[in-house]
Structure 1
Amino acid sequence: MSAAPPATGSDPGRSRPASPADLFVSFTVLALQGFGGVLAVVQRELVERKRWLTQEEFVEDWAVAQIMPGPNVVNLSIMIGARWFGLAGAVAAAAGLLALPLLLVLALAAFHARYAGHPAVAGALRGMAAVSAGLIAATGLKLASALARNPVPLPWAAGIAAATFVLLAWLRVPLAWVLPALGALGCALAWRKLR
């Protein structure tokens, strides 16, 4: 892994993490904000607040993180940490994302085991699920602006998204078949446009 950061001279508003410790603290804070899904929080923190990534870089990195094995946000944290500080950055970002939240989840699991039957706990969990769904939908709308600069034409991108939804949600085709087929189509369309 290369420790050399991407060039930032062309964008004066661009920032970078100060150190691996900064990565650790930033990803710990980020992880503690994202109960039930962190996509909205990750996008806001890394693109809008910290300015470590542009919107386009975030969309590209998120796409790569989704096709890699493992949790998407962990993959993304490793990629960002490695981009800025090599192996030390990757370890610091992943540790920040996992260490304190792991302790919190263990405490919540003990609490849930004791009070799972209580109606207030069940209602709180349903409420958190609704909030998480809303955050994901809002982030999707924010990220849609990056599609305007995508090399895949918008009608094709919408068609691939619709086909993915139909195959996975309605026809229940396994993801292991859908991803290579539609992913290859998307890559071919992008390659054709870029060459």
Structure 2
Amino acid sequence: MSDLSHSLPPPRLRSLFLLCFKIGILSFGGGLTGWLYQGFVLQQRWIDEDDFASSLAISQMLPGANVVNLVICMGEQLRGPIGALSCVVGFLVGPFFAVIALCQVFDALAGFALLPAISDGVAFAAMGLLVVMCIHGLRRAMRFPPSVAIVVVTAFLVGVLEMPLIPVVLVLAPISVALSWRRA
């Protein structure tokens, strides 16, 4: 963790739970990683950008839902196993009941013409948060030019040449780690 994170007292379990509950209940339609970045890094400043990026990378390598893995990683980093539990319960309990309720609402409003526009608006807001997170990540990557090269090569191989992501990552990840290791 950064010096900033060490100088601040760890967040209370209640605060972790409430932030994760708020993000879990308000962020339907994707963009959860962006909301987590906004809450943990930009608003609360509990975790710095480097620690968030590391937690995100780890969470994407683990089996299961990336965002659930991410809240577990950040909760554990901030308050240990009980912090991880607080974050994951806060993150999942609201959406669990909200999905059941929304299913009933969507069934009742199925003929309402404005419903697609509302759900599109929520999805576009989530995409905007994801773009902001990508911009911050690129700014962070610009501090170390070889990381920009890894990003560009990955985007080209997967996005343009349509190569499968897993083999690309299996080849480029060790190169990226070696470059970062030499830097440290």
TM-score (norm 1): 0.79
Q: 1:129 aligns with which of 114, 120, 123?
A: 123
What is the match of residue 28 of structure 2?
Answer: 35
Q: 1:35 to 1:58 in 2, by over 3 A?
A: same
CA distance in 1, matches of 2:50, 2:182: 20
What amino acid sits opposite 1:28 in the alignment?
Answer: F
Distance 1:188 1:103, change over 3 A: same
Percent identical residues: 27
| Cα separation, partners in 2 of 1:98 and 1:10, compared to 1, 3 Å | closer
Matched, 1:23 2:16: yes
In 2, distance between residues paired with 1:162 and 1:175? 14
CA contact (8 A) 1:15 1:50 kept: no
> Higher helix share goes to which structure?
2
1:145: how far off? Answer: 3.0
Q: Is the 8 A contact 1:59 1:146 kept in 2?
A: no
The alpha-carbon deviation at position 135 of structure 1 amounts to 1.6
The size of the alignment, in residue pairs, is: 183
Q: Any conservation in 2 of the 1:31–1:98 contact (CA below 8 Å)? A: yes
Using the TM superposition, name which of 100-109 and 156-165 deviates more.
Answer: 156-165
Distance in 2, matches of 1:106 and 1:49, equals 30
Q: 2:154 aligns with which of 158, 164, 167?
A: 164
1:93-132: CA deviation from partner (whole Å, max 9, x where unpaired): 1111001112112222333344445432122222222222
Q: How does 1:36-55 map to 2 (within 5 A)?
A: 36=29, 37-55=31-49
TM-score by length of 2: 0.83
Secondary structure of 2:47's aligned partner: coil
Unpaired runs of 5+ in structure 1? 1-5
* 2:171 is aligned with 1:181: yes
Distance in 1, matches of 2:6 and 2:81, equals 26
Return 5+ residue gaps in structure 2 as ranges: none
**8 Å CA contact retained: 1:167, 1:178:** yes
How many Å separate the matches in 2 of 1:127 and 1:26? 23
